[in-house]
């Protein structure tokens, strides 16, 4: 299966961002992509650098304007498309939500981000209610997609539950970057940790992993920090953690990567981790911590 990845720089001009996304989606579709994945909160800037109630006005219902606009494009191009949207569920209730559009433009399913960070420049708990749809894969014409979002990528439990429910691949729309005061050594450690943990999910579950991050510098509107330099490095890993593609960290890129879905079956026969799991001894995983 051919997967299109769109790594993009955004500005405050949302209509221009959306137009660029559409142009890039057309590019990868013309290259044969059957599935296209976009970065986290792709319509605008990463607005969570500050806490500002006015920014809730950027949220939209699902179905809504974005699912309609991108749904028409998915239908025109005959692709499955993974969106990442700021969902307005009800007054005062908002989610960071991934939406999967089928080839006919309809909504195949959605996933609400479960793990919500609250760190300097990533004040997501102010904006997003934790997801309540669980770790459920979304069935599409190109397979069962285990869609998660950004901060979820650090949690092996999330990847495992998606795999246990039959996901054929794990997909992570992402917005992550460096703070300018970090040393070069620290930046390298952070990036390597991010890649390593997700390659580990691929290995532990015998599944491909598709991660699409944004790139470019986005200023802190408050001026309290020097903003975020999003580190790009979108990548695809195979079911043994092998890197099938790795993007640059500071450039916009679109690329199509071929995934052999049958390879997962063979890898799981060679490395039968699901067979050997000690499910009788895992009760402690449902606890916050075990040392009293």
CATH number at residue 251: 3.60.110.10
CA–CA separation, 187 and 181 (whole Å): 10
CA–CA separation, 254 and 33 (whole Å): 11
Q: How far is CA 77 from CA 74, 154, 208, 224, in A?
A: 5, 33, 24, 43
Q: Is residue 69 part of a domain?
A: yes
Residues with a catalytic annotation lie at 40, 113, 150
- pLDDT at residue 181, as a whole number: 85
Say what percent of the chain tops pLDDT 90.
96
Contact 137, 165 (CB under 8 A): yes
**Quick one: which of 158, 186, 157 has its CA closest to 172?**
158
CA–CA separation, 60 and 96 (whole Å): 11
Q: Is residue 64 part of a domain?
A: yes
- pLDDT at residue 289, as a whole number: 94
List CB contacts of 142: < 8 A, sequence separation 6 or more: 1, 34, 35, 80
Q: Is residue 292 part of a domain?
A: no
Q: Is residue 20 part of a domain?
A: yes
Where the chain has pLDDT below 50, the residues are none
**Quick one: which of 211, 83, 240 has its CA closest to 152?**
211
- pLDDT at residue 48, as a whole number: 97
Q: Is residue 80 part of a domain?
A: yes
Give the 3-state secondary structure of residue 151. Answer: helix
Q: Residue 105 belongs to what domain range?
A: 2-286
Q: Is residue 49 part of a domain?
A: yes
List CB contacts of 14: < 8 A, sequence separation 6 or more: 43, 44, 58
- The model's pTM is 0.97
Contact 171, 146 (CB under 8 A): yes
Q: What is the total count of domains within the chain?
A: 1
Around Cβ 249, how many Cβ atoms within 10 Å? 18
Query: Which position has the token pair 């599935």?
Result: 35
CA–CA separation, 168 and 162 (whole Å): 9
**Quick one: which of 207, 212, 213, 211 has its CA closest to 169?**
207
Give the containing element (helix H, strand E) for 200: helix 184-205
Give the 3-state secondary structure of residue 283. Answer: helix
């Amino acid at each position: 299966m051919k997967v299109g990845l769109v790594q993009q720089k955004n500005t405050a001009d949302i209509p221009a961002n959306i137009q660029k996304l559409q142009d890039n989606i057309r590019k990868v579709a013309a290259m044969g992509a059957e599935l296209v994945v976009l970065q986290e909160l792709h319509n605008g800037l990463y607005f969570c650098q500050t806490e500002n109630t006015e920014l809730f006005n950027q949220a939209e219902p699902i179905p809504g304007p974005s699912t309609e606009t991108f749904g028409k494009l998915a239908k025109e191009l005959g692709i499955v498309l993974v969106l990442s949207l700021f969902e307005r569920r009800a007054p005062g209730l908002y989610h960071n939500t991934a939406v999967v559009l089928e080839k006919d433009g309809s909504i195949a399913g959605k996933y609400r981000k479960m793990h919500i960070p609250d760190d300097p420049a990533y004040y997501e708990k102010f904006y997003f209610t934790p997801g309540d749809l669980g770790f459920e894969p979304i069935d599409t014409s190109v397979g069962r997609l285990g869609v998660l979002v950004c901060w979820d990528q650090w949690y092996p439990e999330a990847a495992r539950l998606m795999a246990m429910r039959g996901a054929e691949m794990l997909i992570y729309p992402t917005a992550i970057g460096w703070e300018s005061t970090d040393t070069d050594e620290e930046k390298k450690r952070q990036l390597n940790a991010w890649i390593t943990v997700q390659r580990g999910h691929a290995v532990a579950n015998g599944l491909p992993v598709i991660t699409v991050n944004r790139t470019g510098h986005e200023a802190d509107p408050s001026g309290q920090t020097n903003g975020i330099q999003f580190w790009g490095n979108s990548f695809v890993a195979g079911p043994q953690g092998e890197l099938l593609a790795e993007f640059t960290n500071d450039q916009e890129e679109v690329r199509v990567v071929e995934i052999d879905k049958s390879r997962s079956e063979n890898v799981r026969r060679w490395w039968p981790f699901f067979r050997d799991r000690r499910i009788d001894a895992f009760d402690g995983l449902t606890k916050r911590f075990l040392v009293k």
